[in-house]
Amino acid sequence: MKTCTKVFIATSMTLVSLMTNAQNTCNETLSLFAGNVTSKNFSKAKSQLNYLRKNCATINSAIYAHGETVLTHELKNATNKKEAALALIQLYKDRIANVPAKTKKGLILTKIGGVMLNYKIGSLKEQYDVFDEAFTNDSKNFKNPRYLYQYFDLYYQMYASKEYGISLENFIEKYEAVNEKFEYEKLRLSNIKVDVLAKKEKNKTLTAKEKNRIKVATKNIAAIDQFTKNMVLLLEKEVTCETLVPLLEEKFESNKTNLQWLRKAAGRLDAKNCTKSPLFLELVIAIDITEPTAESKYYLYTIYKRKGDEEKAQHYFEAYLSYENDGTKKAKIITALGNKAAQKGQKSKARTLFLKALKFDPTFGSAYINLARLYASSANDCGTDEFSKRATYWKAAEMAKKAKQVDASKKQEATELINFYMQAAPSKTDIFNEGYKGGEKLPIKCWIGGTVTVPKL
Per-residue pLDDT tens digits for 342-383: 999 999 999 999 999 999 999 999 999 999 999 999 999 888
Any idea where the domains of the chain sit in the sequence?
Answer: 1-103, 140-239, 346-457
Residue type at 132 in one-letter notation: D
- CA-to-CA separations, 361 to 58, 79, 367, 409, in angstroms, rounded: 69, 76, 9, 15
pLDDT digits (tens, 9 = 90+) for 201-221: 777 788 899 999 999 999 999
What would the mean pLDDT of 435-453 be, rounded to a whole number? 91
Question: Does the pLDDT of residue 258 top 60, yes or no?
Answer: yes
Q: What are the pLDDT digits (tens) for 166-205?
A: 999 999 999 999 999 999 999 999 999 999 888 877 777 8
For the chain, give the number of residues.
457
Dmax (CA) of the chain: 136
9 pLDDT more than 90: no
- pLDDT of the residue at 20: 52
Percent of the chain with pLDDT over 90: 85
Q: Which listed CATH number (1.25.40.10, 3.10.20.80, 2.60.120.260, 3.30.420.240) goes with 346-457?
A: 1.25.40.10
What confidence tens digit (pLDDT) does each residue in 354-364 have?
Answer: 999 999 999 99
Q: Which of 108, 34, 101 has the alpha carbon at shortest distance from 67?
A: 34
Tell me how crowded residue 182 is: count the other CB atoms within 10 A of its CB: 20
**Which residues lie across from 453 on neighbouring strands?**
441
pLDDT of residue 23: 66
pLDDT confidence of 68, banded at 50, 70, 90? very high
Q: Mean pLDDT throughout 151-169?
A: 96
* Mean pLDDT (whole number) for 277-295: 94
Evaluate whether 145 touches 178 at the Cβ level (below 8 Å). no
pLDDT for res 24 = 78
pLDDT at res. 445? 86
pLDDT, residue 1, reads 52
3-state DSSP percent of the chain in helix, strand and coil, to 5: 80, 0, 20
The confidence score (pLDDT) of residue 285 equals 95
- Rounded distance, CA 19 to CA 23, Å? 6
**Looking at residue 199, what is its pLDDT?**
81
Q: Express each pLDDT in 126-148 by its tens digit.
A: 999 999 999 999 999 999 999 99
